[in-house]
Amino acid sequence: MRVAVIGAGSWGTAVCWLLGGKGVPVTLWSREPEIAAGINAEHRNPVYLRDVVLPESTYATPDIEEAAAGAEAVVVVTPSHGVRGVAEAMGGSLPTHVPVVNLSKGIEGGSLFRMTQVLEDVLGNRDRLAALSGPNHAEEVSKGVPSATAIAAYDDAVARMFQDLFMSPVFRVYTNPDVIGVELGGASKNVIAVAAGMSDGLGYGDNTKATLMTRGLAEMTRLGAHLGARPLTYMGLAGMGDLIVTCTSRHSRNRALGEWVARGGTVESYTAETQMVAEGARSAKTIDELGAKLGIELPITHQVRSILFDGHLASEAGAVLMGRSAVDEMHGLGLVEDEG
């Protein structure tokens, strides 16, 4: 099976290492021609994960139509705001039966679509689409650190095909039929991780961070349940697992962004300093808008958006959240206590 990997950032590079290690021929699309040239010449990405040696079965190109042509499966690994554009660019080269899995985590601005909804809107044939999400920092996956993830697809055969494609001795893949929950979990946990980083930046303790993570998980579940996700999905790899690693890891861009902002920085200065995209910044806007549209309270998300974009102070958010009226802990989570 020849696979096209669309996106040559850290995650795309890690995917090439993972699949290439299994002998899978990969064509990697890079927006930057110099990255493609560097990979083909040195078998290393000259910008992202520069110490990772890619197998000779990986070929890079700045031509997205070349990458997609003849591919038997496609892995989309661009930032979420770029998914529509790359889908439009490769659409003419991609037959309607070729399965596509999305690894990008976010909600599209304007449409408020999940990423598989964006792909369906551009490419059609929802049944060939899937999403992969879990506690999968590229820095660790690319070094063979044992990791696990979830694959959700609209068609079980597609889920199992991608499960087989990605499964390795160091990367365990579980299937999950809940596409909505897996995608929303991946997008919304980034916002909670920004909040956790703000807590770190303000010098708060473990109690505070654990509270933010737990109530953040409730907030994620409440949104998902309203949109048809299974609440138990949020107890799994694409929910709790991804939330834990993104809120605590030294590799987490979203946690680092929150800490940066709490100490006086801005989204713009963080991006300029690190040359990295923290998806939680964009998701704070889109998920807050989605919650408002649906009439669902997402207090942590709203505070993160207000701090990142509306000039509110991180130091004042704690008092706002702690001063909210008391409710039952399981309020709005869609849980049935007697399910067994």
Q: What CA–CA distance (Å, rounded) separates 337 from 340?
A: 8
Neighbours of 141 (CB within 10 A): 24
Give the model's pLDDT for residue 340.
33
- What's the CATH class of domain 3-177? alpha beta
Task: Report residue 277's pLDDT band, with 50, 70 and 90 as the boundaries.
Answer: confident
According to CATH, where is 3.40.50.720 located in the chain? 3-177
Predicted local confidence at residue 335, as pLDDT: 63
The residues annotated as belonging to the active site are 189
pLDDT tens-digit map of 229-276 = 999 999 999 999 999 999 999 999 999 999 999 999 999 999 999 878
Residue 339 has pLDDT above 90, yes or no: no
Q: Read off the pLDDT of each residue in 68-82 and give the average, rounded to a whole number.
A: 96
User: Are the C-beta atoms of residues 308 and 260 closer than 8 Å to each other?
Assistant: no
**Coil, helix or strand at residue 132:** strand
Query: Which pLDDT score is estimated for 276?
Result: 80
Beta bridge partners of 129: 100
Instruction: Give the C-alpha separation, 203 to 318, whole Å.
Output: 12
Q: How far apart are CA 159 and CA 291, in angstroms?
A: 29
What average pLDDT does the segment 64-77 reach?
A: 96
Q: Do β-strands 73-76 and 3-6 pair in parallel, antiparallel, or remain unpaired?
A: parallel
Q: How would residue 91 be classed by pLDDT, with cut points 50, 70 and 90?
A: confident
Q: Which residues contact 292 (CB under 8 A, 6 or more apart)?
A: none
* Strand order, beta sheet including 26-29: 58-61, 26-29, 3-6, 73-76, 100-102, 129-133, 147-153, 171-176
Q: Parallel, antiparallel, or unpaired for β 129-133 and 58-61? A: unpaired
Are 286 and 109 spatial neighbours (Cβ–Cβ below 8 Å)? Answer: yes
Average pLDDT over every residue of 166-194 = 98
- Give mean pLDDT, residues 181-208: 97
Among residues 184, 196, 257, 191, the alpha carbon closest in space to that of 222 is found at: 184
Q: What is the pLDDT of residue 275?
A: 78
**296-325 mean pLDDT:** 94
CA 236 to CA 216: how far, in whole Å?
15
pLDDT, position 167: 98
Separation CA 246–CA 6 (nearest Å): 23
Of 168-177, 182-191, 257-266, 317-326, which gets the smallest average pLDDT?
317-326
Quote the crossing angle between the two packed helices 299-309 and 179-201, to the nearest 10°: 60
Tell me the pairing of strands 147-153 and 129-133: antiparallel
Multiple choice CATH, 180-322, 3.10.110.10, 2.40.50.140, 3.40.309.10, 1.10.1040.10: 1.10.1040.10
Distances (CA, A) of 102 to 45, 47, 87: 21, 22, 11
Q: Please tell me the predicted confidence (pLDDT) of residue 334.
A: 72
Quickly list H helices, the chain. 10-20, 33-42, 64-68, 83-90, 115-123, 138-141, 156-166, 179-201, 206-226, 242-248, 253-262, 267-274, 279-294, 299-309, 314-322
Count of residues making up the chain = 340
The pTM for the full model equals 0.93
Q: Where exactly does CATH 1.10.1040.10 map onto the chain?
A: 180-322
Q: What is the mean pLDDT of residues 157-171?
A: 98
What is the pLDDT averaged over residues 212-220?
A: 97
* DSSP-derived 3-state class of residue 205: coil
Question: What CA–CA distance (Å, rounded) separates 241 from 238?
Answer: 6
**Lowest-confidence region among 54-58, 244-248, 320-324:** 320-324
Question: In this model, does residue 337 exceed pLDDT 60?
Answer: no
Q: What is the mean pLDDT of the chain?
A: 95
